Amino acid sequence: MPQSLKTCSPHNRWEAVEAPKQDPRKRSKNFEEVVLGYSEEQALAEASRCLTCPNPQCISGCPVGIDIPAFIKFIKEKNYAGAISKIKEKNSLPAICGRVCPQEEQCQKNCIMGRKGESVSIGRLERFVADIENEKGITVKSPNKCNGKRVAVVGAGPAGLTVASDLAKLGYHIVVYEALHVAGGVLVYGIPEFRLPKRIVQAEVDYIQRLGVQLKPDSLIGRLFTVQDLFAQGFDAVFIATGAGLPKFMGIPGENLCGIYSANEFLIRVNLMKSYQFPEHKTPIHVGKKVAVIGGGNVALDSARCALRLGAESVQIIYRRSRDEMPAREEEISNAEEEGIQFKYLAAPKRFIPDELGQVKGMEYVTMKLTEPDATGRSKPVPINGSETILYVDTVIVAIGRTPNPIVQITTPGLKTLSGGIIAINRETGQTSLDAVYAGGDIATGEATVISAMGSGKIAARSIHRLLKGQKEKTALTTSVKTT
């Protein structure tokens, strides 16, 4: 039976119900969504696998603390409105999280069903009820009466949007300043349409605006206004959520050749500027026949799968460790494999080779081997002498990581930062070194995940609320963070 048709029949409750997907041969040529949502029948079958544990472990695996058994119980009762309002008590972006959260590493990892068989597919169920709500039109309870306090949020990614919605629900007047022309952060400029349709992001941004949040696009804080200017304009607190949008490079010879993109530039052109719909949208993109993508995370996979859809004949991921160490989501790795993306593991580029016009025509790489795991349990890749090999490629996309956007840090005197420009915060409160200035998401952790950014937004929202109600926070800044 094709995977996409596997349903949860009552005979085997240890197996999760598969979500249907577009056929790999078809989907590798279009930007339509790969994973299709559950039908009602599939959702009910999957929900029936949840044991409604009296002592549920899944909730502690969710960075925003959704009452998972409670929302699944509503699904079992076909009370989908009840299910979505239960989720929305904690999460304002459920249709997004249901699609891109690494549930297998979080809530689903703790699911009791996973001890004997497959965990309940919590993310797919979350998506199911969020999509029903989106189709019907999201209803918004009238926002609380404004309490007279104003909070500025800098950056409209998942962290900023979470703080904005949580505080708006408590009656604060919120203004979100966003450098780009649309809200969503990486959700709109990084993650491609075929994983996260932009209408889904827009519907959730619209919901947050309908809570009373004012959105100011095209507003680069640090240039248009500084953080001090925001206080001078009468804001009572500021939350900084500017993300990690600066690409890292390898610093090897030839990296500036034509035909070599940073993943950021490539994905921004494709997703935000919609070059996959050129010429209806005006931004073009050039993708050659043989593409190499350097890196092993979600960003590398998204770049590779976009390049394939834009007409490349072959796309290879070049990763210096093995498949087991790839930081990308397992589901996305196997989706990419099904689509025909090739993987060259234990390989690291040494230099890029130009043609006579300065266009990349090849890449010399060295084969790596992994050392014994160190104290942290991670093996180190080391080069094997004499293993240099040439690979002929005409397009390269470098996706080896991102660092924090620096403008707010540079223009805010007294704002303490850690190495790499990460803003130092108290992890329990989100407070920075400055009074009434909070930060969260990738800018305060280094590149991480949508749900961790939202989790840190929730912590900061609670602290800002406490502060503005008159209970002052104690500041104890972190001195280091674990970056991914």
- Written as one string, the DSSP assignment of 129-156 is HHHHHHHH----PPPPPP-S-EEEEE--
| Segment lying near ligand FAD (by CB under 6 A), choices 1-9, 219-227, 363-371, 424-432 | 219-227
Eight-class DSSP state of 175? E
Smallest separation, CB 109 to ligand FAD (Å): 14
Q: Is residue 157 part of the contact set for ligand FAD (CB under 6 A)?
A: yes
Q: Is residue 72 part of the contact set for ligand FAD (CB under 6 A)?
A: no
**Token pair belonging to 437:** 């200035």
Smallest separation, CB 142 to ligand FAD (Å): 27
Q: Is residue 178 part of the contact set for ligand FAD (CB under 6 A)?
A: yes
Q: Is residue 221 part of the contact set for ligand FAD (CB under 6 A)?
A: yes
* From 83, 101, 326, 461, residue interacting with ligand FAD (rule: CB under 6 A): 101
* From 238, 449, 460, 463, residue interacting with ligand FAD (rule: CB under 6 A): 449
Whose Cβ is closer to ligand FAD: residue 407's or residue 477's?
407
C-alpha distances (whole Å) from 411 to each of 141, 154, 221 are 38, 13, 9
Whose Cβ is closer to ligand FAD: residue 170's or residue 408's?
408
Residue showing tokens 């690291």: 348
Residue 427: closest CA among 92, 67, 63: 63
Q: Is residue 241 part of the contact set for ligand FAD (CB under 6 A)?
A: yes
Q: How far is CA 48 from the centre of its chain?
A: 29
Whose Cβ is closer to ligand FAD: residue 146's or residue 224's?
224
- Written as one string, the DSSP assignment of 103-135 is GGGTGGGG-THHHHSPPP-HHHHHHHHHHHHHH
Q: Is residue 159 part of the contact set for ligand FAD (CB under 6 A)?
A: yes
Pairwise CA distance, residues 148 & 370, whole Å: 58
Q: Which of residues 31-60 bind ligand FAD (CB under 6 A)?
A: none
Q: Is residue 442 part of the contact set for ligand FAD (CB under 6 A)?
A: yes
Beta-carbon contacts of residue 94 (< 8 Å; ≥ 6 apart): 84, 87, 88, 126, 127, 129, 130, 204
Q: Is residue 450 part of the contact set for ligand FAD (CB under 6 A)?
A: yes
Q: Is residue 61 part of the contact set for ligand FAD (CB under 6 A)?
A: no
Smallest separation, CB 401 to ligand FAD (Å): 10
Buried b (16+ CB within 10 A) or exposed e, 46-81: bbebbeeeeebebbebbbbebbbbbbbbbbeeeebe
* From 395, 405, 412, 417, residue interacting with ligand FAD (rule: CB under 6 A): 405
* From 37, 63, 123, 245, residue interacting with ligand FAD (rule: CB under 6 A): 245
Whose Cβ is closer to ligand FAD: residue 98's or residue 157's?
157
Whose Cβ is closer to ligand FAD: residue 152's or residue 366's?
152
The contact mask relative to ligand FAD for 279-318 (x = CB under 6 A, - = no) is: -------------------xx--x----------------
Q: Please name the residue ranges forming H helices in 181-316.
A: 186-189, 198-210, 227-232, 263-267, 298-309
* From 50, 180, 366, 368, residue interacting with ligand FAD (rule: CB under 6 A): 180
Pairwise CA distance, residues 280 & 31, whole Å: 15
Pairwise CA distance, residues 49 & 7, whole Å: 13
Binding site for ligand FAD (CB under 6 A): 100-102, 154-160, 177-180, 185-186, 190-191, 220-222, 241-243, 245, 267, 298-299, 302, 329, 405, 407-408, 441-443, 447-451, 453
